[in-house]
């Protein structure tokens, strides 16, 4: 999955990632961000760009399915 997760030790609850994400990958609960739809992420890295504390972790490896159901 592209969004690996939030580092809560660094997260300052500013909600900027939730605010900017084009794909609605993040959700909010009690003022805290969580990853609601990691597969929807397209690695644009805007969340990492706006995060003031480096708490958003994104992987650019895209383990998407192969055509016609082939898997490696």
Dist CA 3 CA 59 (whole Å): 6
To 10 degrees, the CA torsion angle through 65, 40, 37, 59? Answer: 80
Q: Tell me, what DSSP letter sits at residue 38?
A: G
Does the protein bind another protein through residue 1 (CB under 8 A)?
no
The contact pattern for another protein, residues 39-58, with x = CB under 8 A and - = no contact, is xx-xxxxx-xx-x--x-xxx
Does the protein bind another protein through residue 23 (CB under 8 A)?
yes
List residues near another protein by CB under 8 A: 2, 19-24, 36-37, 39-40, 42-46, 48-49, 51, 54, 56-58, 60-69, 72
């Amino acid at each position: 999955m592209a969004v690996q997760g939030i580092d809560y030790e660094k997260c300052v609850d500013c909600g900027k990632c939730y605010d900017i994400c084009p794909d609605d990958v993040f959700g909010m609960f009690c003022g805290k961000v969580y990853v609601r739809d990691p597969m929807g992420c397209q690695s644009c890295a805007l969340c990492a760009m706006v995060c003031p504390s480096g708490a958003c972790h994104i992987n650019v490896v895209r383990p998407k399915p192969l055509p016609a159901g082939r898997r490696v």
